[in-house]
Amino acid sequence: MSAVRPTPGLRLWGAVATFAWPAAEVWLSLRARKGKEDPERLNERRGMASQARPDGPLVWLHAASVGESQMALGLAEALTGQRPELHVLITSGTRTSASLIATRRMDRVIHQMAPGDRPAWTRRFIAHWRPQAGVFLESELWPNLIRAAAERGVPMALVNARMNDASLARWARMNGAFRALTDVFEWIGAADARTGQGLERLTGRKPALTANLKLETGGAPPDPEKLAQARAATGSRPVFTAASTHEGEEAILARAHARILKTRPDALMILAPRHPERAGAAAAALASEGLASARRSKSETPDARTPVWLADTLGEMGLWLALSPAAFIGGSLLDKIGGHNPVEAARAGAAVLTGPHTASFDDIYAALRAENAVLTCADEDAIAETVLAIWDGRGPDRDAAARALARLPGGALACTCEAILRLLDAEPRS
């Protein structure tokens, strides 16, 4: 394990992060004021642990937000299943991801908010937790956090690395810094061929091509009692779910549902914002189109006249998808997110709808398109027409999604766990 090789860019970042600590404190305060940070957990952002380190071996998984945290939970379950003595520390950077991890209540899994990328904070964090291995998920690369782990001799891996063309081009402009950071990873696993080829160009190393971990680390199945209650609430109404929506998309979906209601007055849309703390804004977007909503977080259920069930909770996506023959996957109507993972919806048997912007999961969407298992809708009119068609039996072949998913390579979970356990079993570093 070598230290991070200094480059001009990394030196500059380190200096700014070191001496601009008042700005870091202002940043934390502003985020807390906007509801983006839990005020009770701000010290975790400063690298101060809120829990004691458990005895024995500990693997640290560093994630960004909800999608990566879901993947980290799947990895943690697999790792602790193979090594009962192992503890797993998951760090993430959003309140939503923290809430998601809390809902799973997994034994031997600890969550902490990720420390801000200030040298004093990252060193404090590493000194407390002393992980036997550090695992960075996808492209969540923070220079001072990586440097602090390298200084302590923590063996590290980059898993499920996934970058679109824009990300690869951005790192190519900072190739010296990128290579210096990735040189410390003892193992790199790429989620797709494009990322693998891009990483090889940027790093001079050939990463393992593992396939996408998100194909094997989906959400939990719905609770049978909750599913029975939800089915009783929805009855025979035609239902569709709009999953993982973002600001600007709820207004489009509200207009789409208003059009649907003109044809099917009993229709129900289940709207699940990507970040449940945005439920108020989502409800306002619905109200602007005259659509009342029942809030799941308030234990409200829709009556026969309520057109929208606002699913502002975490860990229940499997429940909503089980109710829905059609599922629109958000983050895809506006050109800033690149879509979200459609696998959970496809596996649930729902017909998958998406907007035109799916670059973040283009390999999965390509497989779905090859089997005509996804329907692309550019606007509210297309969404309304497509949902109505699905309810009328004019949607994709119900086996199409299964055929599409079978096209995708598997084995990522076993391959990645094997690599992490090899790091764990390596000789201790000084």
Catalytic residues: 68
Scanning the structure block, which residue is given the tokens 């001072």? Answer: 144
166 alpha carbon, distance to own chain's centre: 19
CB neighbours of 391 closer than 8 A, spacing ≥ 6?
Answer: 238, 240, 264, 325, 326
Paired tokens of 331 = 């983050």
Residue 405 CB partners (closer than 8 Å, separation 6+): 215, 343, 346, 347, 367
Cα 385 to the center of its chain, rounded Å = 29
Single-letter amino acid code for the residue at 19: F
Where b means 16+ CB within 10 Å and e means fewer, 67-101 reads: bbbbbbbbbbbbbbeebeebbbbbbbbbbbbbbbb
401 — phi, psi (to 5°)?
-65, -40
Those residues with Cβ within 8 angstroms of residue 95's Cβ, 6 or more apart along the chain or in another chain? 35, 36, 37, 38, 277
Q: To 10 degrees, what angle do helices 175-182 and 8-19 make?
A: 80
Reported as type and span, the H/E element at residue 250 is: helix 249-263
Q: Which of 84, 179, 75 is nearest to 136 (CA)?
A: 75
- Rounded to whole angstroms, the Cα distance separating 310 from 296 reads 6
CA 396 vs CA 142, 242, 362, 369, 393: distances in Å: 42, 18, 19, 11, 9
Specify whether the CB–CB gap between 306 and 283 falls below 8 A: no
Report which residue type is found at 260.
Answer: I
For the chain, how long is the longest CA-to-CA vector?
A: 69
Q: Are 155 and 134 in contact (CB under 8 A)?
A: yes
